[in-house]
Every structure is written in C-alpha cells, then in structure tokens.
C-alpha cells in the first residue's frame, strides 16, 4: 500500500474557514473519540449512548460504527490483516474530515492493531484524538454475544476473528479505559467528563 496518493496531479485545496471559526459557530471543540475493544465489549452501545447525551447537550456529534461502515464505504473489505488495516485507514481519514468540520465524531471499531490506531491518531491535531479502551474480559464478551460470532469463531466457521483466531492488541496507554461491566450511565458519564471540562 502506497504512503501517499497514487495520482501526482493533485493539489490539496485549502478553504477560507478555519477550524476555530467552525467551533465558534457550533459552540464546542471538535474531537475524534475512538472506542476500541473486542466484539461484544460494548463499543457501539457506549458510543451511541454518548452521542445521544452529547446531542441533548447541544453538541454536534455522530457515530461511525464498524458494521455500518462495512455496509457502504468499506463493503469491499474483508477481515484479513491487510483489509483490517485498510478499513481503519479509511475510517481514520473520514474521522479527520469530520473532526475538521467541527463535529465530535465517535467511532466503534474493534481496530485490533495498535499501529493502525496510532496511524489514525497521527492524522489528528494534538489533543483532538481520544482513544477509549472499552475493556471487557473475553468471557464477558462471549456471554454478551447475541450474534453468535464467538461460537462460530471457535468452531472455525468465522476465520480471523479478533481475540480468538486473530490478535487483538489492547491499548497500552489510552486516554480512557472504560469497564463496561458497570451500568451504562456510569460509563457514559466517564466519557462525558473527559469531553466536557
């Protein structure tokens, strides 16, 4: 995979509106909140609950969910290590655009590789990327598995499943670590406390 664009006949266009101007209009700081964790850890549940709370507070927020993205933007990608990296690269670029637009963008992706998450962080200005490790033990994730994915992974029906037949590299130094065995409202409050001084 190339580090830069394939085409050499392009020039980055710069608009006349600054990020600070957008934030002034919206009345809040823009940021990417990156929820990472195993399947069943509660990433999507938490991200959507935080989105709802932020919108009720008057914050422009939007969730990019891993499964939802694979229905459209990334429908051409599977779950090989290369495809997982490309999945996260693409969504990282989308997050950076959302963040630049003045939004609070919340993501819910397993994003199993630390290098991929670090690459997404590097796209953002300092302090505009918050990594949230949605930390639930594997046994808890398996108990929550309403889709039956873990059982299929253990029988070999689903190859390359994070935490079973493919690696998951837990964050070593996330901005937040959320234990989702606690009530959802407590988890939401922890995220909001980080976002709203």
CB neighbour class for 131 (10 Å; exposed up to 12, middle 13-18, buried from 19): buried
pLDDT at position 1 is 47
Average pLDDT, whole number, for the chain?
90
Phi-psi region of 148 (alpha: psi -120 to 50; beta: other; left: phi over 0): left
Q: For the chain, which domains are there?
A: 20-195 (3.40.50.300)
pLDDT in tens, 88-109: 999 999 999 999 999 999 999 9
Kindly give the parts of the chain with pLDDT less than 50. 1
- The answer to whether the pTM exceeds 0.85 is yes
pLDDT in tens, 35-58: 999 988 999 999 999 999 999 999
| Catalytic (active-site) positions | 111
- Alpha-carbon gap, residue 170 to 113, rounded angstroms: 8
């Amino acid at each position: 995979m190339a580090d830069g664009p394939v085409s050499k006949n392009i020039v980055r266009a710069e608009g006349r509106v600054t990020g600070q101007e957008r934030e002034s209009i919206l009345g809040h700081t823009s940021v990417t909140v990156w929820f990472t964790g195993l399947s069943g850890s509660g990433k999507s549940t938490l991200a959507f609950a935080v989105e709802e709370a932020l919108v009720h507070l008057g914050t422009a927020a939007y969730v990019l969910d891993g499964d939802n993205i694979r229905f459209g933007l990334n429908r051409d990608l599977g779950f090989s290590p290369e495809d997982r990296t490309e999945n996260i690269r693409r969504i990282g670029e989308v997050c950076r655009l959302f963040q630049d637009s003045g939004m609070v963008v919340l993501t819910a992706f397993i994003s199993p590789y630390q290098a991929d998450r670090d690459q997404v962080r590097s796209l953002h200005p300092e302090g505009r990327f918050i990594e949230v490790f949605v930390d639930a033990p594997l046994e808890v994730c398996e108990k929550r598995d309403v889709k039956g994915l873990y059982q299929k992974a253990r029988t070999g029906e689903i190859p390359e499943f994070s935490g079973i037949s493919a690696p998951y590299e837990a964050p070593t130094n996330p901005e937040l670590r959320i234990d989702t065995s606690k009530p959802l409202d407590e988890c939401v409050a922890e995220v909001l406390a980080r976002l709203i001084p």
